[in-house]
């Protein structure tokens, strides 16, 4: 029998008979390893443990918590969910059931309306399926046979999926016991490996995300190898519920969502103060980094969007209108307007790097079912920046932007990790451009000593990109910051500059954001801080609480002093007991409460109560102002 050479991640090589299974290589290395692995990557492709290797291959064995391991584990969990539903509700039709971040879901079409009580029954049946230790086997059918098989089972949604595939396709299925599902895989070798399961909730979902198609019932769940990990995750979910930005945003009077404008949030006075504090910080950081700020129109005509390509590739997400019988669109992004700003005058290589920022209002049509507080909206503000530069300036500019994003995230206490996405198949631009761009990005990250994950082939069609995934205080990750190199828009808009040689050349463009969507970033901050913002960011930084009406004049005097120093201050003159006022201020999460009574009037002081540290005693008002001003200016 012929042999195959298997290369492991440490570059060690092992030789096996042709057709060796992944699980057999794992057993050959260690029986303990074989028990722990859930799947593998063979030459970069995600596969199951029963996969046979028929050529020399690079093999990475995957445990549950490795990249790809959770996907295999939870994809199998989704199949166990579908099997349990079919056992309990046999007339149910199956749609799709992928693994997702932190869990899985499956979409079902059934006359029965699922209830929380049903989830308990389904979860119990899933655990029975796990105990049955059903072997999971892959088999394949030609497209015609696959269609016949699925039609016999009356799985209409699966039939539609197969009908969309080419006629010469070979269709894969997975069988576990009497349950069979159309699936590309991969999966665990059997159901027994799924140890800890929890079904979470029920939601509606349009078939294939099309609001004109039938609404299906989606069941969400999660699974872990160990019960303690599941317990830890569920505790984190409970903490996330407490921190829900919609709930806290309403309590703190930051923003409101009205039925007259679904997806169009209203910022209230306190929320607007918070937003402005963020934007002031953005402007300060960018001015120090030699950015100039511009503002481009919200509505621009069809010609611009044809030039940018959005009219042909993004129109379904854009709001359009007619002005003087001509087609216009409300901008879904700021970039095309930024290109027109650059074109407004001729540029020389001496102008570069040219850094232009814009805090721009954009609108994108999102399906109503996907809207979620401030996290998914139809109107939002983007902190866009575009850098126009020479090819030899790419590395230094990337380093500058990465340092800027690091400074911003560190200010909020966020950890983050970095991902580098390289050239996709449908890319534009020359091999030379892409090679130089990717090399520059990698060198910049290496010189900054920033660890990064490479996502091969996941870049934008117009250039490679670096994404920053920040981690909040309860361990959730959010993709916010990005640095994207663009070869396309300079071509489409015919941008140019005069080089040292006197000829015209195309500039290189970097698109970058730190916050991304300001609204979404505010939602993340609300949940990260649970509404207890640092003083510099707090919508109200201090509140003055007179013990009775006769001290209101002194309270107003203090209020005016604080306002003159730029401190955001309110005063509570309601005829309530001081204990009640303090509790209300605590619920509003105001950093400082200044209590004013007879003693404070006589000594020209205030009794300071800190949100986080409690009673701090009597303090001279000027000293308090100095301390808080320093805290705000340093953005502690």
Same domain, residue pair 431 and 351: yes
What are the angstrom distances between the C-alpha of 452 and each of 415, 449, 473? Answer: 14, 9, 21
Q: Stretch 80-96: mean pLDDT, rounded? A: 97
Contact criterion met (CB below 8 Å) for 493 and 307 = yes
**Statement to judge: residues 505 and 420 lie in one domain:** yes
535 and 633 Cβ atoms separated by less than 8 Å: no
CATH of the domain at 47: 3.10.20.30
pLDDT tens digits for 387-415?
A: 999 988 988 999 999 999 999 999 998 99
Alpha carbons 407 and 423: distance in angstroms, whole number: 28
CATH number at residue 134: 3.30.980.10
Q: What one-character DSSP code corresponds to residue 450?
A: -
Question: pLDDT exceeding 70 applies to what percent of the chain?
Answer: 100
For the stretch 443-492, pLDDT in tens is: 989 999 999 998 888 887 778 899 999 988 888 888 899 999 887 889 88
Tell me how far apart the alpha carbons of residues 578 and 593 are, in angstroms, rounded to a whole number.
11
Range scoring the smallest mean pLDDT among 257-271, 431-445, 515-529:
431-445
pLDDT tier, 564 (very low <50, low <70, confident <90, very high otherwise): very high
The CATH number given to whatever domain includes residue 375 is 3.30.930.10
Residue 535 lies in a domain: no
Please return the burial class of 573, using the count of CB atoms within 10 Å of its CB with bins 0-12, 13-18 and 19+.
middle
DSSP state of 95: -
- Based on the fold, state whether residues 486 and 610 are members of the same structural domain: no
Q: Residues, the chain, total?
A: 636
Residues 423 and 278 in one domain: yes
Query: Are residues 351 and 467 located together in one domain of the fold?
Result: yes
The three state secondary structure string of 197-244 is EEEEEEEEEEHHHCCCCCEEEEEEEEEECCHHHHHHHHHHHHHHHHCC
Decide which of 11, 41, 63 is a domain's last residue: 63
> Has residue 536 been placed in a domain?
no
Question: In the chain, pLDDT over 90 holds for what percent of residues?
Answer: 84
**How far apart are alpha carbons 514 and 470 in whole angstroms?**
11
3-class DSSP state for residue 277?
helix
**Amino acid 1: pLDDT:** 67
Tens of pLDDT, residue by residue over 294-307, are 999 999 999 999 99
Q: Among 63, 97, 114, where does a domain finish? A: 63
Q: Could you give the C-alpha distances from 444 to 286, 393, 395, 613, in angstroms and in order?
A: 20, 11, 5, 42
246 in a domain, yes or no?
no
Residue 120, SS3 per DSSP: helix
Decide if pLDDT at 20 tops 80.
yes
Same domain, 83 and 210: yes
Confidence of residue 226 (pLDDT cuts 50, 70, 90): very high
The boundaries of the domain holding residue 306 are: 297-330
Domain check: are 120 and 161 in the same one?
Answer: yes
**Phi-psi label, residue 115: left if phi above 0, alpha if psi -120 to 50, beta otherwise:** beta
Q: Is residue 250 part of a domain?
A: no
Asked if pLDDT for residue 114 goes beyond 90, the answer is yes
Give residue-wise pLDDT tens across range 337-361.
Answer: 999 999 999 999 999 999 999 999 9
Q: In total, how many domains does the chain have?
A: 5
477-486/508-513 β-pairing: antiparallel
Residue 560 falls inside a structural domain: yes
178 and 264 within one domain? no
CA dist., res. 20 & res. 24, Å (int) = 7
Q: Which H or E element spans position 516? A: none
What is the C-alpha to C-alpha distance for residues 520 and 526, in angstroms, rounded to an integer? 10
- How do residues 236-245 score in pLDDT, each as one tens digit? 999 989 999 9
Average pLDDT for residues 45-70, to the nearest whole number?
93
Q: Is residue 248 part of a domain?
A: no
Q: What is the mean pLDDT of residues 281-285?
A: 96
Can you give the pLDDT at residue 404?
A: 95
Query: pTM higher than 0.95 for the full model?
Result: no
- Considering the domain boundaries, does residue 27 fall inside one? yes
pLDDT at 203 over 80: yes
Q: How far is CA 80 from CA 103, 137, 140, 297, in A?
A: 13, 14, 20, 52
Q: Are residues 325 and 374 in the same domain?
A: no
- Quote the DSSP letter at residue 265: P
**Within a domain: 324:** yes
Task: Round to whole Å and give the CA distance between 60 and 26.
Answer: 10
| Contact call for residues 173 and 182 (beta carbons, < 8 A) | yes
Strand partners, 57: 6
Measure the CA–CA gap between 384 and 332, rounded to whole angstroms: 12
Output the pLDDT for position 207.
93
Compute the distance between CA of residue 27 and CA of residue 46 in angstroms, rounded to an integer: 19
Q: Parallel, antiparallel, or unpaired: how do β-strands 103-109 and 136-142 relate?
A: unpaired
- Residues 276-287, buried b or exposed e (16+ Cβ, 10 A)? ebbeebbeebbe
Say what the alpha-carbon torsion angle 211, 212, 213, 216 is, to the nearest 10 degrees.
40
Higher-confidence residue of 629 and 477: namely 629
Q: Tokens 């916010």 — which residue?
A: 480
Average pLDDT for the chain: 93
**Which residue, 307, 330, 353, sits at the end of a domain?**
330
CATH of the domain at 574: 3.40.50.800
Cβ atoms within 10 A of the Cβ of 487, count?
Answer: 21
Active-site residue list = 335, 364, 382, 384, 386, 465, 511
Examine the domain organization and report whether 10 and 85 are in the same domain.
no
349 and 312 share one domain: no
Give the pLDDT score at 433: 80
CA 177 to chain centre: 38
- 512 with 621, same domain: the answer is no
């Amino acid at each position: 029998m012929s042999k195959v050479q298997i290369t492991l991640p440490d570059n060690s090589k092992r030789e096996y008979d042709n057709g060796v299974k992944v699980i057999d290589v794992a057993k050959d290395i260690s029986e303990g390893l074989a028990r722990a692995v859930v799947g593998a990557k063979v030459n970069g492709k995600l596969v199951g443990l029963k996969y046979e290797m028929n050529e020399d291959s690079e093999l990475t064995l995957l445990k549950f918590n490795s990249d790809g391991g959770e996907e295999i584990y939870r994809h199998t969990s989704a199949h166990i969910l579908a099997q349990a539903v079919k056992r309990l509700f046999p007339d149910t039709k199956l749609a799709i059931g992928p693994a997702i971040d932190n869990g899985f879901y499956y979409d079902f079409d059934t006359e029965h309306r699922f209830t929380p009580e049903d989830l308990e029954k389904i979860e119990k049946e899933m655990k029975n399926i796990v105990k049955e230790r059903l072997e999971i086997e892959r088999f394949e059918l030609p497209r015609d046979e696959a269609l016949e098989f699925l039609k016999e089972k009356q799985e209409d949604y699966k039939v539609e999926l197969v009908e969309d595939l080419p006629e010469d396709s070979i269709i894969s299925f997975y069988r576990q016991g009497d349950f069979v599902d159309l699936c590309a895989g991969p999966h665990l070798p059997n159901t027994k490996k799924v140890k800890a399961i929890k079904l979470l909730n029920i939601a509606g979902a349009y078939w294939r995300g099309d609001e004109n198609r039938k609404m299906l019932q989606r069941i969400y769940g999660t699974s872990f190898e160990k019960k303690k990990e599941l317990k830890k995750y569920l505790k984190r979910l409970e903490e996330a519920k407490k921190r829900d930005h919609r709930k806290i945003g309403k309590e703190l009077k930051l923003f409101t969502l009205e039925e007259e404008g679904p997806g169009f949030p209203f910022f209230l006075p306190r929320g607007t103060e918070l937003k402005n504090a963020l934007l002031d910080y953005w402007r300060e950081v960018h001015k120090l980094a030699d950015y100039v700020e511009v503002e481009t129109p919200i509505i621009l005509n069809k010609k611009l969007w044809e030039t940018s390509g959005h009219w042909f590739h993004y129109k379904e997400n854009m709001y359009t209108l007619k002005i003087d019988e001509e087609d216009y669109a409300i901008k879904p992004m700021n970039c095309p307007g930024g290109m027109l700003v650059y074109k407004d005058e001729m540029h020389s290589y001496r102008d570069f790097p040219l850094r232009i920022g814009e805090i721009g209002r954009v609108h994108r049509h999102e399906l109503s079912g996907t809207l979620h507080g401030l996290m998914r909206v139809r109107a939002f503000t983007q902190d866009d920046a575009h850098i126009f530069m020479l090819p030899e300036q790419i590395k230094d500019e990337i380093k500058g932007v990465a340092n800027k994003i690091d400074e911003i995230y560190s200010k909020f206490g966020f950890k983050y990790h970095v991902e580098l996405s390289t050239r996709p198949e449908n890319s534009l631009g020359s091999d030379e451009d892409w090679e130089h761009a990717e090399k520059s990005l990698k060198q910049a990250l290496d010189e900054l000593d920033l660890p990064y994950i490479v996502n091969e082939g996941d870049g934008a069609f117009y250039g490679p990109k670096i994404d920053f995934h920040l981690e909040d205080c309860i361990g959730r990750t959010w993709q916010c910051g990005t640095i994207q190199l663009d070869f396309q828009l300079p071509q489409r808009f015919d941008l140019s500059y005069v080089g040292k040689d006197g000829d015209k050349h195309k500039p290189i463009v970097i698109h970058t954001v730190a916050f991304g969507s300001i609204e979404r970033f505010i939602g993340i901050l609300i949940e990260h801080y649970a509404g207890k913002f640092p003083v510099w960011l707090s919508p109200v930084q201090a509140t003055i609480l007179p013990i009775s009406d006769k001290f209101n004049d002194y309270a107003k005097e203090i209020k005016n002093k604080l306002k003159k120093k730029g401190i955001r201050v309110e005063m509570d003159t309601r005829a309530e007991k001081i204990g009640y006022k303090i509790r209300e201020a605590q619920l509003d999460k105001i950093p400082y409460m200044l209590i004013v009574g007879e003693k404070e009037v006589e000594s020209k002081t205030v009794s300071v109560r800190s949100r986080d540290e409690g009673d701090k005693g009597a303090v001279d008002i000027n000293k308090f102002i100095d301390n808080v001003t320093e805290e705000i200016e340093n953005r502690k």
